[in-house]
Amino acid sequence: MKKAVFVFMSLIVLGTAAQALIITTADGNGADAWISNDGQSSSYWADKVHNTTGMHVRYNGGGSRFRAALLRFDISSIVEPIAANAQLQLGQTYTKGSDKVIDVYGLVDGHAGEAWDDTTLCYNNAPGFVTPDQGNNLGWYAIDSSLVWLGTFIIPGTGSSGATITPPKTLLTDPTSLPLADFLNADTNGLVTLVLINAQGTTSNNSENRFASEEDANGGFPALVLVPEPMSMLLLGLGGLLIRRRTQRG
């Protein structure tokens, strides 16, 4: 019996030891920045570089506001297949209005634009973004087929008036609505870029979301959270129970 308990406890410890691996945009060759193609002022035109924290992800349906965030993660250190429960973690720094649905796109592996530089990135040179039919600097956007839709996540709103959040509030995506593993596992060069677009924004829900970047003094950097499959954790637990039962019978 003592031996069985020991084995069971060892398995639990083993399971706990397989803790989450967190890769942020500050690690390795990671990067983060936001772009704009917006008519609010010349500060948000398509040629403006925004390598600042409080990355805007904003769209109000067309005609005045468009801002989107790009995140690059260096996953070259990962050798094991990434499990299906991979999540994106963000630090929310500003909210306005009600809940928002954010679309997440992945830049196709091997695209020349994977090497984008967050100190020079702007709408005009951002991989996957093209000049919309309406023209630039007017609050519209268009993307090409090098950005592949991966899924969505919901940003919780906090009411009508805008509110800064300090320190950044941790948000984790749901792997069922934003499955990342296939995209991450298809990577061949150790770099993956995710693009956040508030595609469903409307004029009445003014789409104001901001997220911490690697430049944020309070942390909350964008991160990939890679944790063991729930199934393998479950099997570990079941294995422990089986050993225990057998020993009890014997």
Give the interface with Ca ion as residue ranges (CB under 5 A). 32-33, 51, 109, 118, 187, 189, 191, 213-214
Shortest distance, position 179 Cβ to Ca ion, whole Å: 17
Rounded to whole angstroms, how far apart are CA atoms 227 and 125? 34
Residue 11 vs 23, nearer CB to Ca ion: 23
Shortest distance, position 143 Cβ to Ca ion, whole Å: 18
Rounded to whole angstroms, how far apart are CA atoms 191 and 115? 8
151: left (phi over 0), alpha (psi -120 to 50) or beta: left
Residue 113 vs 239, nearer CB to Ca ion: 113
Contacts (Cβ under 8 Å, ≥6 apart) of 118? 31, 32, 33, 51, 70
Shortest distance, position 188 Cβ to Ca ion, whole Å: 6
Residue 25 vs 85, nearer CB to Ca ion: 25
Residue 118 vs 205, nearer CB to Ca ion: 118
Residue 160 vs 189, nearer CB to Ca ion: 189
Listed residue (200, 86, 220) closest to 154, CA to CA: 200
Listed residue (93, 95, 73, 63) closest to 21, CA to CA: 73
* 241's tokens: 């129970």
Rounded to whole angstroms, how far apart are CA atoms 224 and 185? 13
Listed residue (127, 145, 140) closest to 194, CA to CA: 127
